[in-house]
Chain A
């Protein structure tokens, strides 16, 4: 079984829709969780850390369910500028980082 499973998409949704991304992980040792955004031909940049209690930043909400081993990212009122690839990351201590394969998102005006 893969350490991380993430739907590669692509997701094509109309502007204003709510988008949901999920990643599942297999290793219970995963301690820290993050979502990154990657624009075309650029390096990934941190979008949000995922806290156990969940966190929200504007239109973006991140959640983790450790019992079911998945994390989620929600984008409300999606905008064309949200079009990018979104990657989840799981950290197991400082030595091991595991990324999902990324989900491509296109928001259509």
Chain B
């Protein structure tokens, strides 16, 4: 089945620094990718929808200047957490669906971000 690779799987950074998370579709093209955040014992929360070649669509309450999304190719989307603070510590997961397909979404392995 299709594979989505997310990197890094775990990152610890200092408060005030920026962290970039990559999401790659390895064997299919994804016009659209999705970024989620999940706090402990809580559900997945959609942050934004990443569109190849255009601006991302952010969910209400998600700061676009803090969570920068770039979807420069059909196989790569990146999420940059800028000026990270401890409250940004969370599990970030991307997902992608093959362009033009009605099949299920495939998830990356997730990135556990800890801001100290």
Residue numbers of A with Cβ under 8 A of B are: 8, 31-32, 34, 38, 41-46, 49, 85, 87, 89, 91, 93-102, 104
Contacts and interface: CB of A to CB of B under 8 A. Distances in A.
A46 B31 CA distance: 20
16 contacts: A8-B43, A34-B104, A42-B109, A45-B107, A46-B104, A46-B106, A89-B105, A91-B105, A94-B31, A94-B100, A94-B102, A95-B31, A97-B97, A99-B43, A101-B44, A102-B44
B32 A94 contact: yes
Nearest to A48: B104
B43 A94 contact: no
Nearest to A31: B102
Given A94-B32, A94-B100, A43 B110 contact: yes
B44 A94 contact: no
3 residue pairs, one from A and one from B, having the closest CB atoms: A101-B43, A43-B107, A102-B43
A42 B110 contact: yes
Nearest to A44: B107
**A interface majority secondary structure:** strand
Given A42-B110, A43-B93, A95 B32 contact: yes
B108 to A, nearest CB: 6
A91 B97 contact: yes
Contact of B44 (A45, A87, A91, A104): A87
